Chains A and B, each alone.
Chain A
Amino acid sequence: MLGRKKELAYPKKGVPGRLREVLFGYALLAPALILLAVFEFFPILYGLYISLCSWRLGCAEFIGAENYIRAFRDPQVWHALLVTATYSLMSVPVQLGLGLFFAYLLFQKVKGQELFRLIFFLPYVTSTVASAAVWTYIYNPDRGLINTVLGALGLPQPRWLAEPTGVFALVARGLGVELPAWAHGPSLALVAVFIYTTWVFVGYDITIFLAGLGNIPTELYDAARVDGAKGWALFRHVTIPLLSPTTFFLSVITVIGTFKAFNHIYIMTMGGPGTATTTASIYIFRQLYEYNRYGYSAALSFILFSAILVLTIVQNRVAGRRVVYE
C-alpha cells in the first residue's frame, strides 16, 4: 500500500515531489489557518494584554491586575452575575422539561410528526433580532397582545419588560401581602426575557431529545414490559436514564447559552429597567460600547469566561457522574 502511494505521486519538477506535496497542502490550509490565528488565537493574548492596560487608543498605562481588582470590587459586576445565574437557573429546568415533554408526545407515533417538529423549530431558526422586536411589542404594557387579551378578560395587566419588581413580590402584592426584599424573586422583566428565550429554544431541545429518544433500543422497552413495567414506570426507569447523555448535553448547552445571551436582551430591554436584566454579557457590552472602557471590559470578559468554565467543569463533575452511557 505504501509503495503504491509513492508511485502515484506527482511529476517532480525542480523541487522534490514530496516537498511540493507538503507545500501544496499547507498552501491549501493557509487561508483558514491564517484567519483562525488572527481572529481566534491571537485575540486571546491581545485581550489579556488589553485587560492589563488602561487603554486609550493603545496601552496608555500598564496597570497590571487593577482592572480585575476593580471588577471584583464593582457591585454591579456581582449583580450582573447574579442576574445571569438566575436567568440560567430558570432556563435549564423549564426549557429541558418542556422540550422533553413535547418530544415524548411527538414520539408516540404521532401523525404529522415531522410537520410539528418543523413548526416547533421555527422560532429557533428565524432571526433573533426580529423576533425579539416582535416580542417587545407583544409585551408592550399599553398596547401589546398579552395585555390587550388580559384587559379584555378583566385581569390585571403587569408591565412585563418594564417591571423591575420581583415576581413573587408582585403575586403577593396582588393578594395583599408585602414580602421581605430577599423573597421578591427574579424581576418580572427577567422572567419575560426568559419566557421569550424558552419560546426560542424549546424547538431545539425537542429536536435533540427526539434524536435521543430514537437512539434508545426498542429491546430495552420490550424487556422492561416483560418485567411488568408500564406507562410512567417505563418512562421513569428506562427513558430518563437512557436519555441522560442527551439531557446532560442540553443542560450544558443551555447554561453556556444563557451566559452568552446578548442580542435578544439588548433588543428587548437594553439591560433595563434599571439593571433588572443587565446580565454579565450586557454589562460587558455597555462598558465597551457606551463608556469605551476597553481594558475593563476585556478583564470582565476573562472573568465571565472563567465563570462559564468553572460552571461547566462543576456540571461535568456533578451531573456527569449520574449520566448513564449504554
Chain B
Amino acid sequence: MNRLLDLPVVRPVGLRTFRPRPPAGRLIIYLVLMAGASLSVLPFAYMVASSLKSYGSVITNNLWPWWPLGDEPLQWQNYIEAVRHTGWDPHWGTWLMVRYFANSLIVSGVIVGGAVLTSLLAAYALSHVELPGRNLVFLGILATLMIPGELVLVPKVVMMFNFGWYNTYLALTVPFTVSVFGIFLLRQHFLQVPRELHDAARIDGANHLQYLLWVLLPLSRPALVVIAVLNFIWAWDAFQWPLLVTRDPSMRVLAVGLQQFMVGEGGVNTHLLMSFATMMVVPIIGLYFVAQRAFTEGFLSSGIKR
C-alpha cells in the first residue's frame, strides 16, 4: 500500500503529445475514438429515448417510434406518470417521488455542508495552529483511508439501532459529515499559502477565525469546489447504506427509490423507470459539464470512487 501513497498527484491538464501522424492513420484514430465515445453515450441516449416512448413502443421493441419512421409524439407525460407511479406520501401530502428528491437533496446538502465545515476547521488546525502531536494526528486521520467501508458496515448498522438513529436523517447524514479527503486537500492548500500572509494578518489584529474566513477561504475556493462536488456525487449515488438504515418509503433517497421502483413497477413500466433514471442522472450530468475540472481533479487526487 505504501507505493500507492508514494505516487505523485497526476494532472491531465496541459498534456504534451506526439508529433502528428500521416492523414490515413489519423482518420482511423478518429473513427476508433468516435466509436468509443458513442458507446459511452449510447446507454444514456437509450435511457432518454425510452423515457419518451409509449408503453406499447417499449414492449414491441420499437427503437424509433417517432417521425420519420413512425407517428408517435414524444411522451413527455411519462415524467408525470413516473412521479405518480411512485405512490402517495400521506405525511407530507405529496407524491413519494417528491420525497425521494427532497430526501436526496437534504441528505446530500447536509453531507456536503458538514464535510466542508469539519474539513475546514480540521485542516486549519493542522496547518496554522501550533499543536503538539499535530503530525501524529494527521497521520491518524490518513490511516482511516485504509479502513474499507465494507469492514465497518455491520457494526455501523448496529450502532444506528443503538443510537436510535435507524430510519432517521441522522443515520443518513452524520456518519458522512467528515471527509478525510477534504481535510487532506485543504491542508495541502493552506500550507501553500505564504506564511507571511498569516503573520501580516495577525499583526493587523485578525484572530484565527477571521484569518480563516477572510483570507484562506477565498484563496481555497477551487479546493472547496472539488470537495463539495465529490461529496455531493457520493451522497447522491449512495445506495447500500440508505437501504440498510431506512425502512419507511418516505425516508428513501432517490437511489433506493429507483431500485424499489425497478423491483416493483419498473419490470412492467420500463418507460417510466427510464424517466425516473433520467431525472436522477440529469442533475449530475449538468453539474459535471459545469464543474468538469473539479470532477477530474477531484477523482484523480482522491484515487477512487468511494
Contact = CB atoms under 8 A, between A and B. Distances in A.
Interface of A: 4-5, 8, 10, 18, 21-22, 24-26, 28-29, 31-33, 35-36, 38-44, 46-47, 50-51, 55, 57, 102, 105-110, 113, 116-131, 133-138, 140, 143, 145, 148, 151, 199, 203-204, 207-208, 210-215, 218, 221, 245-246, 248-249, 252-253, 256-257, 260, 262-263, 266-267, 281, 284-285, 288-289, 294, 297-298, 301-302, 304-305, 308, 312, 316, 320, 323
Contacts of B255: 127, 129-130, 263
B214 interface: no
B250 to A, nearest CB: 19
A211 B10 contact: yes
Contacts of A262: 150, 240
Nearest to B126: A29
A127 B237 contact: yes
Interface string B73-108: 000000000000000000000000000000000000
Interface in B217-262: 233, 236-237, 239-240, 243-244, 254-255, 258-259, 262
Given A21-B129, A127-B280, A210-B15, A134 B274 contact: yes
A5 B130 contact: yes
For B154, B207, B233, the residue with the greatest tally of chain A CB atoms inside 10 Å of its CB is: B154
Given A46-B155, A129-B259, A36 B12 contact: no
A212 B202 CA distance: 42
Interface string B1-30: 101100110111011111111000010011
A312 B199 CA distance: 45
Contacts of B15: 107, 113, 210-211, 213-214
Nearest to A287: B154
Interface string B110-150: 00000001110110111001111010010001001001111
A4 B195 CA distance: 12
Closest 9 CB pairs of A and B: A211-B10, A25-B129, A43-B152, A28-B125, A35-B178, A47-B155, A32-B122, A43-B155, A46-B155
Contacts of B126: 29
Contacts of A137: 46, 50, 270, 273-274
B191 interface: no
A32 B285 contact: no
Given A47-B152, A301-B150, A33 B137 contact: yes
B284 A125 contact: yes
B150 A294 contact: no
Contacts of A128: 237, 239
22 contacts: A4-B199, A31-B121, A39-B152, A46-B158, A51-B154, A55-B158, A108-B29, A124-B299, A128-B237, A129-B280, A135-B43, A148-B61, A151-B61, A204-B299, A210-B12, A210-B15, A260-B149, A263-B239, A266-B240, A266-B259, A301-B154, A308-B148
Interface of B: 1, 3-4, 7-8, 10-12, 14-21, 26, 29-30, 32-33, 36-37, 39-41, 43-44, 46-47, 50, 58-61, 63, 117-119, 121-122, 124-126, 129-132, 134, 137, 141, 144, 147-159, 161, 174-175, 177-178, 180, 183, 199, 202-203, 207-208, 233, 236-237, 239-240, 243-244, 254-255, 258-259, 262, 266, 270, 273-274, 277, 280-281, 284-285, 288-289, 292, 295-296, 299-300, 303-305
B147 A298 contact: no
Chief secondary structure at chain A's binding surface:
helix
Given A128-B237, A245-B7, A305-B150, A105 B32 contact: yes
Contacts of B30: 110
Contacts of B141: 32-33, 36
A242 to B, nearest CB: 13
Contact of A133 (B12, B152, B266): B266
Nearest to B2: A316
Given A40-B152, A105-B33, A127-B255, A214 B125 contact: no
Nearest to A151: B61
Contacts of A207: 12, 296, 299-300
Contacts of A136: 262
B17 A107 contact: yes
Given A36-B141, A289-B243, A289-B244, A47 B46 contact: no
Contacts of A40: 144, 147, 152
Contacts of B39: 199
Contacts of A26: 125, 131
Nearest to B38: A119
B129 A24 contact: yes
B150 A29 contact: no
Contact of B208 (A24, A42, A301): A24
